[in-house]
Chain A
Amino acid sequence: MHISEGVLSAPVLLAGAVLSLVGLTLGLKKIKNEDIPKVAVLSSAFFVASLIHVPIGPTSAHLILNGLIGMLLGWSAFPAIFVGLLLQALLFQFGGLTTLGVNTFTMAMPAVLSFYTFRKMLKKGKNVAFIGGALGGASAVLIGTLFVSLALIGTEKSFFGVAVTLFTMHLPIALIEGIITGFVILYLKKVKPEALG
């Protein structure tokens, strides 16, 4: 879900940049020094995840993993995703430098929402943690499609058309990511429970 350069109007770009800047400062302030390796690993996981495509009908959608990143990092998901997106834009021309702000916000904000909604479930028993992880992973993707559709309101003719297309396109992705995120959370619970705070 990268929005390309030249699609959005200036006010949308500006709004995205400002919102992302707020998220970035908040995220950077909250990172503890000892957490940085974790952030770096998840940042590169995000960077690589976008290269894994799942063919759906005529087009294809890629993994995002923003739910996982959000639930493990909280507000620090903003800088983690920002760095991943920056390098994707520079190396692969995914999205673009001008749309970096919008793209960061549309992917990182659902991640933070997942963090606040499902974080408590992760601390509970195994089954609840798995369900929490799966729900967090899946919902972050689907809320992401909603944010992208909102950003495209000015350029695409019908908001509902785009929203429905993006949403249905990403349903399989949400399913896959839910499962992945659930298992990663389970594993972390076993090996490194302190990572789930």
Chain B
Amino acid sequence: MKKIIFLIIISLFICTTTVEAHKVSAYAYREGDKVIGECYFADGSPCQNSPVEVYDSNGKKILQTTTDEKGKFSFKTQETGELKIVIPAGEGHRAEYRLEGVKRAEKKEIKKQEPVKEVEKKQTPSVNSEEIKQIIDEAMDAKLQGIRSEIMDLRKQMDKINIRDIIGGIGYIFGVWGLIMLIKRKKNAS
């Protein structure tokens, strides 16, 4: 019995250095009509060469791709509704991520830009609006890149196993068995 307790304590120490999990997580975001995502195990290691399935809001499979050696994937889609990205990582592992639909908000921005355009060039406003939209998109993407990688890091951090959870879990287990013991004792007494 002592040995077993010893084993648990040793395990705990090992866990603090190499906290790893058996869970697969996925995360994705849109960039224009492109969807970029990453799939990783809870310790942050990439989920390599794994198939990626994309379903639309009706549950219909739209397309399929695979992750590269860094666990990243990307695909182009015209679908603006909610997308469900499923990554069956094999041997019973599976990650799912719901990518919210986008409303084409860019149109409003373009309208705001329109007076400027009219002053500058009255001709071919349609081409111009497209160009401006593209420029804004590019600028935004460049600015958001940092935040996106930050979010990704945060997500990975969140998926990591916390030492508090481990200790808490052991506490819960003893609690549950304590309860079972109590119930059994009452039954035996009556």
Contact = CB atoms under 8 A, between A and B. Distances in A.
B161 to A, nearest CB: 6
A160 interface: no
A42 interface: yes
B96 A152 contact: no
Contacts of A51: 11, 15, 19-21, 161, 166
Nearest to B178: A40
A37 B165 CA distance: 21
A180 B188 CA distance: 36
Interface string A15-54: 0000000000000100101001111111111011111110
A2 to B, nearest CB: 6
A91 B169 contact: yes
A62 B41 CA distance: 13
Prevailing SS type, chain A contact patch:
helix
B91 A52 contact: no
Interface size band for B: 35 or more
A33 B8 CA distance: 23
Interface stretch (A82-90, A114-122, A123-131, A132-140): A82-90
Contact of A152 (B18, B21, B41, B91): B91
Contact of B169 (A47, A52, A191): A47
A86 B173 CA distance: 9
Contact of A36 (B18, B20, B170, B181): B181
A94 interface: yes
Instruction: Specify which of A43, A92, A169, A195 lies most central, judged by the most chain B CB atoms within 10 Å of its CB.
Output: A92
A129 to B, nearest CB: 14
A43 B95 CA distance: 27
A165 interface: yes
A48 B91 contact: no
Interface of A: 1-7, 28, 31, 33, 36-45, 47-53, 58-60, 62, 79, 83-84, 87-88, 91-94, 148, 151-152, 155-156, 162, 165-166, 169, 180, 183-184, 187-188, 191-192, 195
Given A40-B177, A94-B23, A162-B90, 19 more contacts: A2-B22, A4-B24, A4-B92, A36-B184, A41-B4, A43-B173, A51-B20, A51-B21, A52-B11, A83-B173, A84-B173, A91-B165, A93-B23, A148-B91, A156-B90, A162-B91, A184-B7, A187-B3, A191-B1
